[in-house]
Amino acid sequence: MKFLFIYRPNEKGFDDWIHDMPFARTIIIEYEQEWDPVIKFRKHDEYSTAYKYYKRYREYKESLPLDLKVQLIYRLRNGSWRYDFTISMKSQLVEEWLKFECPNGMSRLKRITNEEIGKSIKQAREFSCIGRKEMAELLGISENTYKCYEEGSRSIPYRIVLMIKQIINI
């Protein structure tokens, strides 16, 4: 299973982030204990991502005041907040997390333009030796609509992206 560490920049994203840290730690431990080089090679990308996020969690934890750090550690170890946990503490944790993970209010997710998506789809189509007209017919759309998707002048609906993925086999 490939594990993705992508979080919304809000309180729900913070909760998901905390929930995923034990999984990240497990991925790291399993990778480091693996002796088979083939399996280790296959799991390297997942390990690298988990390691990066777990390292950021540790940096975040170290940046917190002692009372918040204690609450965070307790939550990770026991799955619930300590008895003296308050709403204002949660707000502080989320606020600090947002500053840490989303500097300047920006998410760390890379924004992808329609042009970049279109260029990638065009490259994949050409690599698969499928013509533009043939692809449009397979998708059940006009050739002009498909051309607009590839040029980036029109947003591609998610269902079309999924169909392209199936056709091209990626």
Task: Name the CATH superfamily, with its identifier, for domain 114-168.
Answer: lambda repressor-like DNA-binding domains (1.10.260.40)
| Spatial separation of the C-alpha atoms in residues 122 and 147, rounded to whole Å | 9
Per residue in 40-64, pLDDT (tens digit) is 888 888 898 889 889 989 999 999 9
> Which residues, 6+ apart, have CB-to-CB distance to 21 below 8 Å?
53, 54, 57, 76
Percent of the chain with pLDDT over 70: 91
What DSSP letter does each residue of 7-41 carry, written as one string?
--SSHHHHHHHHHHHHHHHHHHHHHHH---HHHHH
Please say whether the dihedral angle defined by the alpha carbons of residues 113, 119, 122 and 123, taken in this order, is positive or negative: negative
Q: Give residue limits of the domains in the chain.
A: 11-105, 114-168
Instruction: Give me 15's structure tokens.
Output: 């909760």
Question: Which helix (H) or strand (E) covers residue 140, if one does?
Answer: none
Percent of the chain with pLDDT over 90: 24
| Spatial separation of the C-alpha atoms in residues 38 and 44, rounded to whole Å | 10
Residue 111: pLDDT band by 50, 70, 90 thresholds? Answer: low
End-to-end Cα separation, the chain, in angstroms: 17
Q: What share of the chain is helix, strand, coil (3-state, %, to 5)?
A: 70, 0, 30
Instruction: Give me 27's structure tokens.
Output: 């991925």
| Spatial separation of the C-alpha atoms in residues 88 and 152, rounded to whole Å | 45
Residue 149: pLDDT band by 50, 70, 90 thresholds? Answer: very high
Residue 4: pLDDT band by 50, 70, 90 thresholds? Answer: low
Residue 102 · residue 60 · CB < 8 Å: no
Instruction: Give me 19's structure tokens.
Output: 């929930």
Instruction: Give me 54's structure tokens.
Output: 């777990």
